[in-house]
Amino acid sequence: MVILKQERSALVSRVFTALLLLLTMAFFIPLILHFGVALKPVVKFAENGQLRLMSHDLNQNKAVGLGGKWMFFDNRFVQPNNIQSLLPEAREIQGTGGWQLVSEGTNKINGYGTYHLLIELESQTSHLAIQIPHIDTSYRLFLNNTLVASAGELGMSEQEAKPEYKPNIVFVPTGMHRFSLTLHVSSYHSSWGGLWAPIVIGDVDAIYAAKRDSVALSMFIIGALMLTIASNLIQYYFRPSEKIPLAFASLCMVFLCREFTAEHMYFVMSFLGVGFTSIVKLNYLTFYIGMPIVLCFISLYFPSAFNRKISLIFYAVAACFSLFVFFSPTRIIGYSLLSYQVFCLMGMIPAMSFG
């Protein structure tokens, strides 16, 4: 009879746990999908450095990413008032993805140049704004001939340039139906360069709402991570022989730090006095340190499924990559990313397969 009651109690607990998990997933998955769709603008593709936006583009989507083929002057800072006469000397470049030159099919990592895009609207502008993402690694943006935003100091060499991450939102003057964007960019302090995420144009309220939602989502994630960290550290404090809570708290701490490197959270880093170099290194380190913590966490749950010697090799190599990021200049640490990703893929499988 006692055994029957225990089995019934265990069954009820399993059913309750399963129902609670399903309810949690039913609440959070639609929420995450909503933010994933709502915070990602629709991208319109320019051709030959020109983009025409119809009224329904802005009415339906509220915000539009400016992708496609911009015009580009390699290793030249061309002033907006000279663009038209020099356009035959320009080449096409994608408005996203960095220095990827379409005509040559090669990547230009470091240097400087000028992006240019002509925008035509079906109707005159009213209540529009432009959202500027973080640009590697300094920029000046002109709307027609007017300087409207900048970050860092441009230069034709590493000594002249000063990097800065500074996303911005600027207003488009009312009454315009045709205007140009000219973007001067220099990149000497990053392994990447130029425009990676698209510049976004749209309704002012929609752009600010998207920024507000991004910050709100990050604050929600940060709050959840802090509660998880606190609860797991309390468990470890009272049961120090159990290492799983400590490993999970450490993993959540890495996720917490990484969340602050998101573009919309730069205002927090700026408030804390964290500069460009620290943000870049923190972004890489949270990934490079996070992978061995993931391996440690899983191996604590399934110790018999992991080979200890291979795991130690994985930890040692991950430590070497992390030290490389910590002590190297920001302009070269990005070159280690692909090799580290390949290493993680090749290292995790043997560690799990030959326990």
Instruction: Please report where in the chains the tokens 């055994």 appear, as a residue.
Output: 3
**CA 215, 218, 222, 223: dihedral to nearest 10 degrees?**
70
Instruction: Please report where in the chains the tokens 């917490």 appear, as a residue.
Output: 256
197 backbone dihedrals φ, ψ, rounded to 5°: -95, 150
Instruction: Please report where in the chains the tokens 């205007």 appear, as a residue.
Output: 179
Q: What is the pLDDT of residue 102?
A: 39
- Do 310 and 347 contact (CB within 8 A), yes or no? yes
Strand partners, 8: none
Residue 231 exposed, middle or buried by CB count within 10 Å (0-12, 13-18, 19+): middle
Q: What is the pLDDT of residue 34?
A: 66
Q: What is the pLDDT of residue 311?
A: 84
Residue type, 178: R
For 62, which DSSP code? S
**197-to-2, 8, 43, 95, 134 alpha-carbon distances in Å:** 63, 55, 10, 8, 8
- Do 288 and 317 contact (CB within 8 A), yes or no? no
- Do 93 and 45 contact (CB within 8 A), yes or no? no
Q: What is the pLDDT of residue 6?
A: 67
Give the helix ranges, DSSP H, for the chain. Answer: 2-38, 55-61, 83-86, 204-238, 244-259, 266-271, 276-301, 308-327, 330-333, 337-353
**What does R_g of the chain's alpha carbons equal in angstroms?**
25
Gap between the Cα atoms of 103 and 106, Å rounded:
8
- Do 283 and 258 contact (CB within 8 A), yes or no? yes
231 backbone dihedrals φ, ψ, rounded to 5°: -65, -40
Helix (H, G, I), strand (E, B) or coil at 54: coil
Gap between the Cα atoms of 98 and 308, Å rounded:
41
Instruction: Please report where in the chains the tokens 């539009």 appear, as a residue.
Output: 64
- Homologous superfamily (CATH) of 42-202 is Galactose-binding domain-like (2.60.120.260)
Domain ranges of the chain: 42-202, 209-353
pLDDT in tens, the chain (355 residues): 656 666 777 777 778 778 887 887 787 777 666 666 666 788 899 999 999 988 788 877 778 999 999 999 988 999 999 999 999 999 999 888 887 433 344 444 458 999 999 999 988 777 899 999 989 889 999 999 999 999 999 998 888 899 998 889 999 998 888 999 999 999 888 877 888 889 999 999 989 988 888 888 889 899 999 999 999 999 999 999 999 999 999 999 999 999 999 888 888 888 888 889 999 999 999 999 999 999 899 889 888 777 788 888 889 999 999 999 999 999 889 889 999 999 888 876 666 655 5
- Do 276 and 330 contact (CB within 8 A), yes or no? yes
Q: What is the pLDDT of residue 103?
A: 39
Gap between the Cα atoms of 233 and 250, Å rounded:
9
Distance of CA 41 to the CA centre of its chain: 14
DSSP-assigned letters across all residues of 113-168: EEEEEEEEESS---SEEEEE---BSEEEEEETTEEEEEESB--SSTTT-B-----E
